[in-house]
Amino acid sequence: MFADMLRINYLVSGGLITNYRCSSRCRHCVYASSHAWPDDYMTSSAADEIFSLLKKLGCSSIHIGGGEPLLRPERIFPVLESAAGNDVDIEYIETNASWYKDESSAVNILKELRKRGAGCLLISIDPYHNEYIPFYKVKGLIKACSEVNMDVFPWLMEFWDDLDALDDRRPHSLEEYARFFGDDYLLKLPGRYGLNLRGRALRTYRPMMRMESFDSIMENPAGCSLLSGRYHFHVDLYGNYIPQSCSGLSIKLNELIHGADPNKYPVFYRLEHYGIKGLAEYAVKEYGYKPESEYAGKCDLCQDIRSWLVLELGLNLPDLQPADYYRFI
């Protein structure tokens, strides 16, 4: 039996994941989004419940992310209406601009967003997204935003000149970037982007990372403090609280605020309290997990154990949701 409940009393800043489905399958995506996910969007009633819980936790402004939230713009309108009804500010909506067709249709969609209280788009500008989305769409969307006084939060201007150096009418692979800018381009990208090396990003960069022995990783007894972080959390369309940085882990938000039972969330609990050592010992003892001799750090081991529990053992654990994260990574 565990003594401590998992509880969060206040939250400062975070985002909603209104849908995991995306037009792209970016190699840096921490949430493992892609077109393979079901076409599920956050419903109006789920949004109402989430906004009211967030307000109780002291959080009255939020951003919207995905997946690609504007994949089907009309599906996000009820979420915006719910935010307005609950007096929650929308800081910005993240978008990859893939839905841009031409200026007039984009202006129409932007006007609908503005009408519902959204005043800013965070528009992705980076080589990872450019593998799927031609740069002319990003430029066109920025111009359309200026037509309707929608603010733009360009993420990241650092990459504008890189993308602009290549033909903006078509997407470009990272390999093309490496041919154009040098072999070490891919390797330097995480530092320039400020990339969180978890989720699919970890898979992408794992072959280039320094390996560490299992025994040495197990010498680290520290709990993973980011799991109870009040900043940069997300709540997804299924009502899961997704902790800062560590995708594939979750607790139902409505349980977390009252105190979630550690027996129901044994993976999350062990990671938060005893870190990777606690999770690995649990996986070996309870499920017969057989560790490799080395991993690309503790998060690689953590991801491997969790994937194994979901994909190999077929477990449907409440703290490893949504399970599609593991399928579509």
Binding residues for ligand SF4, rule: CB under 6 A, are 198, 224, 226-227, 246, 271, 276, 298-299, 302
Q: How far apart are CA 92 and CA 124, in angstroms?
A: 12
Smallest gap from Cβ 212 to ligand SF4, in A, equals 12
Instruction: State the alpha helices, DSSP H only, in the chain.
Output: 44-56, 77-85, 103-115, 127-130, 135-147, 160-164, 174-181, 185-193, 199-205, 214-217, 253-256, 266-287, 298-307, 324-327
Beta carbon nearer to ligand SF4, 16 or 227: 227
Smallest gap from Cβ 236 to ligand SF4, in A, equals 17
Beta carbon nearer to ligand SF4, 106 or 202: 202
Beta carbon nearer to ligand SF4, 143 or 273: 273
The SS3 of residue 308 is: helix
Smallest gap from Cβ 246 to ligand SF4, in A, equals 3
Beta carbon nearer to ligand SF4, 172 or 298: 298
Beta carbon nearer to ligand SF4, 186 or 202: 202
Beta carbon nearer to ligand SF4, 186 or 276: 276
Residue with tokens 């599609």, as numbered in its chain: 324
Residue with tokens 């010498």, as numbered in its chain: 219
Beta carbon nearer to ligand SF4, 125 or 227: 227
- Phi, psi at residue 144, to the nearest 5°? -60, -40
Task: Name the nearest CA neighbour of 57 among 13, 24, 101.
Answer: 13
Smallest gap from Cβ 271 to ligand SF4, in A, equals 4
Smallest gap from Cβ 154 to ligand SF4, in A, equals 29
**Cis bond upstream, residue 320 (ω within 30):** no
Strand-pair category, 294-295 with 251-252: unpaired
Strand-pair category, 13-17 with 231-236: parallel
Smallest gap from Cβ 286 to ligand SF4, in A, equals 17
Q: How far apart are CA 200 and CA 25, in angstroms?
A: 9
Provide the token pair at 276. Answer: 């990777």
Smallest gap from Cβ 166 to ligand SF4, in A, equals 34
Q: Which residues contact 24 (CB under 8 A, 6 or more apart)?
A: 33, 34, 68, 96, 98, 129, 131, 132, 133
Smallest gap from Cβ 28 to ligand SF4, in A, equals 16
Beta carbon nearer to ligand SF4, 93 or 246: 246
